[in-house]
Structure 1
Amino acid sequence: MNDFIQAYSWINMRFLFEGMWVTVQVAFVSVILSFIMGSILGIIRYAKIPYVSWAVGLLIDLIRNLPLLLIIFFTYFALPHIGVQFSVIGSTIFAMTIFESAMLAEIVRGGVVSVPKGQSEGARSNGLSFGQTLWYILLPQAYKKMIPPIVSQFVSLIKDTSLATIIMLPEMTYRAQIIYAQNPKQIVPMFLMLAFLYFVLNYCLSKVGQVIDKRMVV
């Protein structure tokens, strides 16, 4: 019992909460960037631009079939050898944005394809250009359908930030390791606290997604 009490001391909790703030920051920036990039890539795939859409599709398939950990390794350890160097946080954001963009691109493409073809044909017959049809007709309907899988992908993104402990990103999991390294008897309470904090973050994100989903349906 004393190990639990000591593990949850204010010093340890403050240290852990600072790591949670790093997790939130990295996840938030990665979510915004990957949503923008994933939408662009998904639209390019849907547009079937000669050669370009094929090349984008090949790149997306390549990234989607690679482990995120490998992409983090490549970003942090390999890119500096060709003159591209990021900080630990920058490397994590870059790697996660690339990986999540590929995942979201397929979600976006699938969402647009799922809109009945008659919607696109009706818009074009009324004089709307392809861009106007996409922006005003297809994407608003597609994004309504995409909310659940997009939120699920963002939940995975928050959990995947823990992989960056391998490059010493000072987020929650890394800081928990530092705490129980000083006292191995605190490993169980630290893991329990990590589970609780990840649950809170992901549960809140899921609830936000549900609220947005209900409002868009209405």
Structure 2
Amino acid sequence: MDFAGAYSWPNLSFILQGFGMTLLVAVLSILFSFILGTILGIIRYARIPALSRLLAILIDLLRNLPLLLIIYFAYIVLPNLGIKMTPFWAAITALTLFEGAMISEIVRGGLASIDRGQIEASRSSGLSYIQTMHHIILPQALRRMVPPLVSQFISLLKDTSLAIIISLPEIMHNVQILQGHSPNYVIPALLLASLLYFTVNYTLSIISRRQEAKEI
């Protein structure tokens, strides 16, 4: 093991650049998947005829496919259909679809946990369905959804490492390149990558536990 060589500034900078890419992909995927998952979850909760059933089929399909397969599909199959993407956007697209399907179930479950009597009371007071959802139901449901959402975001951050298969220059990709330079760099580089992953994910888990404690 060559810690000094692995942690020389060029190599250390290379690893940190990879982690920066990991965080960027994770943040954008979290944002897009949360928006997508919220929309899908609300539609499924509303039980719109035909549409809700169709979405349920698509969501179940995405949830039961390996993320690795979805990444391959976004990067290899979509270009054959005229939709060309860089590894960066292919990874974000795949993560957004997969995690959005997961989040939609969290959102639907969170909404379902709120007493439907509140909807009836709000409607009887003159609020529209959209106003009821926006001002009454969603704020309560979101507080209950924070712990499972954070857990899903932690999984998303770890799942970004799967994008190594399409040569996205994220942290594990860069660690692999360092391995090609010298086998003695592998363990130090992996230890640093582990520390970076742990630091971010543990911070998110603390936030989740604190929020869960407030709900108890």
Q: Give the TM bin, normalised by the shorter chain.
A: over 0.9
Paired residues, number: 216
1:60-71 alignment runs, 5 A limit? 60-71=59-70
Does structure 2 retain, via aligned residues, the 8 Å contact 1:144–1:216?
A: no
Equivalent residue number for residue 137 of structure 2: 138
Q: In the TM superposition, what are the counterparts of 1:65-214 in structure 2 within 5 Å?
A: 65-209=64-208, 213=211
| Cα contact 1:155–1:205 (8 A) shared by 2 | yes
> Offset at 1:205?
2.7
3-state SS in 2 of match to 1:163? helix
CA contact (8 A) 2:123 2:132 kept: yes
Deviations 1:177-209 (A, max 9, x none): 000121112222121111111111212333444
- The residue aligned with 1:59 is 58
How far residue 210 of structure 1 moved from its aligned partner, in angstroms, is 5.0
- TM-score normalised according to structure 2 size: 0.95
Per-residue CA distance 1:139-196 (angstroms, 9 max, x = gap): 0000000000000000010100000000000010000000012111222212111111
List runs of 5+ in structure 2 lacking aligned partners: none
Offset at 1:216? 7.6
Match of 2:31 in 1: 32
Q: TM-score, normalised by structure 1?
A: 0.94
Q: Distance in 1 between matches of 2:214 and 2:92?
A: 29
RMSD: 1.7
Q: Would the aligned equivalents of 1:44 and 1:53 in 2 still touch at CA under 8 Å?
A: yes
Give unpaired runs (5+ residues) of structure 1.
none
Alpha-carbon distance between aligned partners in 2 of 1:56 and 1:41, rounded to the nearest angstrom:
7
Deviations along 1:65-85, one digit per CA (max 9) or x if unpaired, are: 001110000000011111011
How many Å separate the matches in 1 of 2:14 and 2:72?
Answer: 26
Match of 1:12?
11
- Aligned residue identity for 1:132: Q
Conserved? CA contact 2:15–2:189, under 8 Å: no
User: How much has 1:214 moved relative to structure 2?
Assistant: 7.2
Q: How does 1:35-50 map to 2 (within 5 A)?
A: 35-50=34-49
Task: Give the residue type in structure 2 aligned to 1:151.
Answer: V
